[in-house]
A and B are shown apart, each in its own frame.
Chain A
Amino acid sequence: DVKVTQSSRYLVKRTGEKVFLECVQDMDHENMFWYRQDPGLGLRLIYFSYDVKMKEKGDIPEGYSVSREKKERFSLILESASTNQTSMYLCASSLGGEKLFFGSGTQLSVL
């Protein structure tokens, strides 16, 4: 089975901190995605990547950046964390158009 691993299940940070969320997939998938999940809003796409060193903005990229230096790893960066970035962050990967494989999520709290 495909495994998508997110480095932390729970994370607590202070306002203004730089935050790194890491995601690793083990199936050589080309496509990787970062979503945030908020109650009543569902999942919203932050950034995605179709290849190494390539990135594209999703629907809500403001306040975030990403890095993909290796095919298996896709990092989400909060340059200066704010309280409105408190959320569940979900990483996903896919090979083509079939389906997304999701990690278990990182619940980030910004105080």
Chain B
Amino acid sequence: AQSVTQPDIHITVSEGASLELRCNYSYGATPYLFWYVQSPGQGLQLLLKYFSGDTLVQGIKGFEAEFKRSQSSFNLRKPSVHWSDAAEYFCAVGAWGNKLVFGAGTILRVKS
């Protein structure tokens, strides 16, 4: 069965510091991988997605993620975090047609 593990429930980083959020998945075929962000009181917004091709994908708001098949990982990174990045981040895996399985989420806190 497909599953997503986000090992870190909470992460706190200083403004301006780099960020990496971890995501490991289990999937029987070539996965479609996504990162979504949820700001307080809001629905989820797509940050980036990987379907095929270049394993380093760029997203909105300066985020990027790297697909590593050998490690079954799709970690999200940002070189310099802004206070407005404080939110909850969800990794998701699925097939074409959007029946996605989501991870439990990582809450990012940014300290000034």
Q: Which residues of A contact B (CB under 8 A)?
A: 4, 31, 33, 35, 40-45, 48, 50, 58-59, 90, 92, 94, 96-100, 102-105
Chain B: number of interface residues, binned into ranges: 20 to 34
CB <8 Å contact, A50 and B41 = no
Chain B, residues 15-59, CB within 8 Å of chain A (1/0): the string is: 000000000000000001010100001111110010100000000
Q: Are B104 and A100 neighbours in the complex by a CB distance under 8 Å? A: no
Asked if B87 is an interface residue, CB under 8 A from chain A, the answer is no
For residue B98, CB closer than 8 A to chain A, the reply is yes
A42 touches B90 (CB 8 A): yes
Q: A31-B98, A40-B9, A43-B102 are in contact. Are A102 and B45 (CB under 8 A)?
A: yes
> Given A42-B4, A92-B44, A100-B36, 6 other A-B contacts at CB below 8 A?
A4-B43, A43-B90, A43-B102, A90-B43, A100-B44, A100-B46
Q: Check B97–A40 contact: CB distance below 8 A.
A: no
C-alpha spacing A4/B4, complex, angstroms: 26
Given the known A-B contacts A50-B97, A90-B44, are A99 and B104 also in contact in the complex, defined by CB atoms under 8 Å?
no
- Whether the Cβ atoms of B98 and A33 lie closer than 8 Å is yes
With A40-B9, A42-B90 as contacts: A97 and B96 at CB distance below 8 Å? yes
Cα separation A41 to B104 with both chains bound (whole Å): 5
User: Closest CB-CB distance, B38 to chain A, in whole Å?
Assistant: 8
